[in-house]
Structure 1
């Protein structure tokens, strides 16, 4: 399947997945004893709303922002300059499967609504080498909020991310991968809508027109419509949770 239209669909959106500056701030506030000038790696940064917010709230941080799609990085660079934090953010075009950094290069790894691309456990294990001893890994991951989700919600997640599980089970995976779970908290439903679903909904009519005649593009638009409809009906059953982990 040609995934290029998937990137196009999300260009220009404030975020490419659920999240908010409030959640970014809350997660960062839980990090203790960071070095004087922390090195932070934002993996799968997209357009970088969270990267820029980290630059604001940690004025001594240097941030490296990685994404595979150059237009997202260009958008991030423009916004970072406008926000006055561009001199402390370096963008790198690279795949999550092949991050071009030496071992133990970072004090903090950050991944908001992006680790699902490689898989939660796979990402925790493969990216661990990049983190210094005692460093933090802050990320958000899809989770069940109930042990008995509805058939419609189960069917949706089986189609897109069958590895989704509960918060306790997700914590256990992190611990088995060599991390201490410092804290977790659920993202509020507004984190799905304000900067992600609502802007995406507004452009779906135009995206449908642009996708017409391209089966792969039409499939991505149809899936987004289904995703939003399922979330509207079943947001009490699943969502995203932030996990603040520490490298043991």
Structure 2
């Protein structure tokens, strides 16, 4: 089966979405009363920058990392081995809408930049069964920072992720899905620019002449160009919010 170009475009990048090790550590620091050897599930891990950072930050944890793209998982395994944490990270190729794990298998679910694939509410509802009582779900999600976005920003998000809403609305969704809100915080602009868009821009420029005449690839590159241009002009209107949630009951 042919690999979708969006995966090819993100292979070799340090991250497959906005984020930072500092934000990963900040979210982890909020977690309380974890067991001595907590079990983590990293959903849609990509090449696993945050996976390796979690393993470093929580030296007694074990992490199962899932993604649908095997080359991402292979890169994560190489990174984990290089960082000396490979013995505590297991990779599983799996779709986030059909995770092959028993109920109540994990103390913490982690999902940086991935839940949008199935949607915020759907992810919260379908993944909840995997958490043990009092377990945590830590994730980043695109949100509006304004009630009145500009027409250009609104048009872009209506095209790519019309479910985007405000932090307050997502907090309400999480509570109705059976979670308590432990904390939320926005990712800084550097998590978008330095850590994601700068590498994407370089990758796109490298690929652009190689994929000329490939409609799928050209469309993906055009979308990346548009995405970065919109963020450049409207970064104050939207971004990622880190949500640290705890399963009720």
Fold match, TM over 0.5? Answer: yes
Alpha-carbon distance, 1:162 to partner: 0.4
Equivalence for 2:241: 241
Equivalence for 1:226: 226
Checking the alignment, whether the CA contact within 8 Å between 1:13 and 1:195 is kept in structure 2 is no
Q: Give the aligned length.
A: 247
Equivalence for 2:16: 16
Equivalence for 1:188: 188
Checking the alignment, whether the CA contact within 8 Å between 1:18 and 1:113 is kept in structure 2 is yes
**1:51-107: CA deviations, max 9, x gaps?**
000000000000000000001001000010000000000000011111110000000
Distance in 2 separating the partners of 1:116 and 1:134: 24
**What residue ranges of structure 1 are gaps of 5+ in the alignment?**
none
Checking the alignment, whether the CA contact within 8 Å between 1:111 and 1:140 is kept in structure 2 is yes
Alpha-carbon distance, 1:202 to partner: 1.0
Distance in 1 separating the partners of 2:177 and 2:132: 15
Between stretches 73-82 and 202-211, larger displacement belongs to 202-211
Distance in 1 separating the partners of 2:3 and 2:17: 16
TM-score (norm 2): 0.98
Distance in 2 separating the partners of 1:116 and 1:198: 22
Q: Does 1:29 align with 2:6?
A: no
Alpha-carbon distance, 1:3 to partner: 6.4
Runs of 4+ in 1 over 4 A off after TM superposition: none
Please tell me the root mean square deviation across aligned C-alpha atoms, in Å.
Answer: 0.8
**What residue ranges of structure 2 are gaps of 5+ in the alignment?**
none
Distance in 2 separating the partners of 1:205 and 1:89: 33
